[in-house]
Amino acid sequence: MNDNYRAMNFSAGPSILPEEVLKKCAAEILNYEGTGESVMEMSHRSSEFKKICEEAEMNLRTLMNIPEDYYVLFLQGGGTLQFSMIPINLMTESGKADYVVSGEWGKKAYQEALKFGDVRKLASSEDKLFSYIPKFNKEDIREDVDYVYVCYNNTIYGTHYNEFPDVGDHLLVADMSSCILSEEIDVSKFGLIFAGAQKNIAPAGLTIVIVRKDLVGKASEKTPVYLDYGVHAKKDSMYNTPPCWSIYVAGEVFKHLINTGGINAVYEKNLRKANKLYDCIDSSKLFRGTARKEDRSIMNITFVTGDPDLDKKFVSEAKEKGMLNLAGHRSIGGIRASLYNALPEEYVDALINFMKKFESENV
Ligand SMILES: *Cc1c(COP(=O)(O)O)cnc(C)c1O
């Protein structure tokens, strides 16, 4: 097989990265900028790595327009550790928080938070298999909660907050693991945003936390040291060895995004890709979208034929055509195409062509 062969990877995560970035990382893998070391081998205390880390943070701040009064932390433990760190660090005044359960990840976050305080479900869409974003009135939020929690893009179900979740004067916390950097976000409307890197940014191992500075440093004294945002903030994410390689790749992805027009440009492309695919689904006699239209995600697109065996046949025939990872999440089945930033528009065109062919052969 051709050494440079690249499949069309529709994985929900870990997922596709920009080819230009992978090539640059490959070119530097033995000798990073004349040091004679790989970034994988480099001391995290070296001046070279410090520069990589500082530039990555600076470029992320530029891309997302992150205000000065927010920390950017580079942590480990995935999105999952944030399900614990958020209540440990933020549920410290009233000990109460309200959670919107709009999918499996929101449910996991809610269940974890129950261990740490007085946690309530503010709204849920579990009644209809999380196929929509559940609404709430800001008056329904308990007055003294420390925060309100939402999952901004539901990776498994293909739903997204297309309307901003208005929580009034309350603090809003959002899991943006599968939509960070895909669209413009006003960071100042959030107390905390977090994202595991492996969906839209970098290889697994890095979790990015963007948190307002005044919220940090309130965890109790018994908090395990790694779980305290204050410790990481004070040490510029270098309290212990950070996920160096993943931070380096993330930094390269940030530079690549800046050089290709920033978030606005990638959002336009994302929208074009998603609309094409949704148009194909909506005009099909075979395929049907599973998310409510007004809540559709442009990152994760979920659909079914209505026949689980036919879904499986579709996924396996697509694989033969070089289109990988189109199976829906193992918990719900069906078909899911993840169209993250790095996924070229041509892959969507190829998928649409294949869907039309498959439809003509199977209806
Ligand atoms: C993937 C994902 C997670 C879990 O991330 P891990 O890094 O595997 O812990 C959490 N939230 C969302 C929205 C995700 O897509």
Beta-carbon contacts of residue 163 (< 8 Å; ≥ 6 apart): none
Sign of dihedral through CA atoms 113, 119, 123, 125?
positive
Question: Which residues make up the CATH 3.90.1150.10 domain(s) of the chain?
Answer: 262-362
pLDDT band, residue 110 (cuts 50/70/90)? very high
Domain with CATH 3.40.640.10 in the chain: 23-259
C-beta 200 within 6 A of ligand 1: no
Candidate list 98, 146, 199, 311, residue with the active-site label = 199
Average pLDDT over residues 115-127: 98
pLDDT, average across residues 211-216: 98
What band does 216 get if pLDDT is binned at 50, 70 and 90? very high
Task: Quote the radius of gyration of the chain (alpha carbons, Å).
Answer: 21
The mean per-residue pLDDT over the stretch 66-88 comes to 98
* The pLDDT of residue 4: 85
- 31 — phi, psi (to 5°)? -145, 95
CATH of domain 262-362: 3.90.1150.10
Query: pLDDT tens digits, residue range 157-199?
Result: 999 999 999 999 999 999 999 999 999 999 999 999 999 999 9
Q: If you average pLDDT over every residue of the chain, what do you get? A: 97
Burial pattern 238-263, b for ≥16 Cβ within 10 A else e, equals eeeebbbbbbbbbbbbbbbbeeeebb
pLDDT tens sequence across 132-152: 999 999 999 999 999 999 999
What is the pLDDT averaged over residues 336-342?
A: 98
Told to judge if 175 belongs to the known catalytic residues of this protein, a careful annotator would answer yes
Look at residue 1 in the predicted model and tell me its pLDDT. Answer: 62
CA atoms within 13 A of residue 265's CA, in its CB half-sphere: 9
Confidence (pLDDT) at 59 = 98
In the predicted model, is pLDDT for residue 38 greater than 80?
yes
Q: Does the beta carbon of 196 lie inside 6 Å of ligand 1?
A: yes
Residue 292: half-sphere exposure toward Cβ, Cα within 13 Å: 15
105 among known catalytic residues: yes
Span 23-259: which CATH code? 3.40.640.10
Specify the residue for token string 């940090």: 216
Tokens 């909660």: give the residue: 145
